[in-house]
Structure 1
Amino acid sequence: MSDPSPAFGRETTSRPSRASLRTAVVWDVLQDALERRAKASGKAVLDVLDTGGGSGKFAVPVARLGHQVTVVDPSPNALFALERRAAEAGVADRVRGVQGDIHGLFDVVDRGGFDAVLCHGVLEYVDDPAEGVRNAVAALRPAGALSLLAAGLGGAVLARALAGHFTEARQALTDPDGRWGAGDPVPRRFTAEQLAALADEAGLDVGSVHGVRVFADLVPGVLVDTEPGAVEALLKLEEAAAELPAFHAVATQLHVLGEKRA
């Protein structure tokens, strides 16, 4: 996989950061998808939509690649932080923030106006995930790329069990929304099959599914911080496991990449 933006802590001249363990796999897949989309469309600059993009964790690095990015987010504070981050990165002219959400998406952006859409960390929180995916797909031009990232059920079950919370682990496993209890901060989780099915039903040809944070959230932080070369080795392990279906069932997050059907 290619090295992502320095914003993700993966510069070749410096030691990878722990933060990169949470984003590197998705960034690598996304960057490759944007390169393919630009080549296929014959456009050097793509129109990219980031729904729920918040303060620009992905939007700003995408803009640094030279693309035009529109971020739709319901939080004014997040959009203010986005503006500041884009300015600091020197891409303020390529990033536009708009207040809104995925259910009212076409109140603020045009249908079929984008070459790529990012929908990261959104489906867990919306009332109707299926509608959210349909709107994300509808925002794409023909053959446009959609990047979906959502919380994985198996990762939550495993994490609760390893923490000794066995009743909560069983609750998450049997709950229709994958929640482990009233104190669970995540309203909904998905299996890889559920997420891929939502994409397919919305008119997307699913190209790949990746497990994200398969090991990173389970390894003790003190081990990663003190063992020489641990971050680099764990990052390589995450990348190696990401595409293997056997590990999708225990990933903290699931990433689906697809292309809009004609």
Structure 2
Amino acid sequence: MSDPLRPRASLRTAVVWEVLKDALERRAAAAGRDVLDVLDTGGGTGNFAVPVARLGHRVTVVDPSPNALFALERRAAEAGVADRVRAVQGDAHGLFDVVERGGFDAVLCHGVLEYVDEPAEGVRNVVAALRESGTLSLLAAGLGGAVLARALAGHFTEAHQALTDPAGRWGEGDPVPRRFTADQLSGLVTGAGLQVGAVHGVRVFADLVPGVLVDTEPGAMEALLKLEAAAAEQPAFHSVATQLHVLAERG
């Protein structure tokens, strides 16, 4: 399984992990508690849930896939955090059938909005899971990154289709049902009553750089990680990022 703390996986997760880790530290300090209650919606096999549990927090993972949840439990056990990770089968639409409303200090909603029928409803649900003061980490597919990737691959018609399609899809074979701009994601968050703290572009370069270069060129991995981190906070690069990360707060 990939892990935000391992170098190769960091090309995809480092930016989000560093932002999330800092946000949890701030939330714990504000709450006056070392241990937070964290909800990870669509958390799957625990790419973020297990590292968060390693920080000492209690994590509830809600995911519709029983296979993913089984892998999560095994992974948590191997990491020695099984007592801090709870796996629950469910989805964002019926979230409060399986978890408590207003019961969490932080909510992770990563890779979920692309697949729900009503993104605005999905955001309202995860926001409703937050306590009076809480933090939302929202990660979703970016429109610009898909357009750029299709164009660089020589699929110009598909790039144009993605650019003009209301859902940001490049064609029938597109595996992602929906993509977003930074303004769209921020609008969903503020519409649900939260204040946007920061927006980050994720995988601005990582998906465009040949893997062989990263794996064989000395120092390339570290240099690319530094470049990703520097570009993530620059609004000019949000429009070409593969994913967009929004950090928002209530209270």
- TM > 0.5 fold call: yes
Q: Which residue of 1 aligns with 2:157?
A: 167
- The counterpart of 2:117, out of the listed 124, 127, 140, is 127
- The counterpart of 2:93, out of the listed 103, 112, 119, is 103
2:13 equivalent to 1:7: no
Shift of 1:223: 1.1
* Partner SS, residue 106 of structure 2: strand
Per the normalisation by structure 2, the TM-score is 0.98
Shift of 1:222: 1.4
State how many pairs are aligned: 250
2:51 equivalent to 1:61: yes
* Partner SS, residue 3 of structure 2: helix
Residues 193-230 of structure 1: per-residue CA shift (max 9 Å, x gap) = 00000000001100000000000000111111111100
Matches within 5 A, 1:109-188: 109-188=99-178
> For the residues of structure 1 that align with 2:207 and 2:250, how far apart are their CA atoms?
32
Q: Which residue of 2 aligns with 1:226?
A: 216
2:66 equivalent to 1:76: yes
Matches within 5 A, 1:231-250: 231-250=221-240
> For the residues of structure 2 that align with 1:159 and 1:205, how far apart are their CA atoms?
31
Residues 145-184 of structure 1: per-residue CA shift (max 9 Å, x gap) = 0000000000000000000000000000000000000000
Letter in 1 for 2:54: R
> For the residues of structure 2 that align with 1:185 and 1:40, how far apart are their CA atoms?
40
> For the residues of structure 2 that align with 1:159 and 1:129, how far apart are their CA atoms?
24
Letter in 1 for 2:51: P
> For the residues of structure 2 that align with 1:110 and 1:97, how far apart are their CA atoms?
14
2:23 equivalent to 1:23: no
Shift of 1:142: 1.3
> For the residues of structure 1 that align with 2:181 and 2:21, how far apart are their CA atoms?
24
Shift of 1:7: 3.3
Runs (5+) with no aligned partner, structure 2: none
Letter in 1 for 2:140: A
Runs (5+) with no aligned partner, structure 1: 1-5, 11-15
> For the residues of structure 1 that align with 2:138 and 2:65, how far apart are their CA atoms?
20
Shift of 1:9: 3.7
2:197 equivalent to 1:201: no
Instruction: Give structure 1 regions of 4+ aligned residues with deviation exceeding 3 angstroms.
Output: none
Letter in 1 for 2:76: A
| Percentage of matched positions with identical amino acids | 84
RMSD: 0.9
Shift of 1:8: 2.0
> For the residues of structure 2 that align with 1:115 and 1:9, how far apart are their CA atoms?
23
Letter in 2 for 1:74: P
Matches within 5 A, 1:31-46: 31-46=21-36
> For the residues of structure 1 that align with 2:84 and 2:190, how far apart are their CA atoms?
31
Q: Which residue of 1 aligns with 2:38?
A: 48
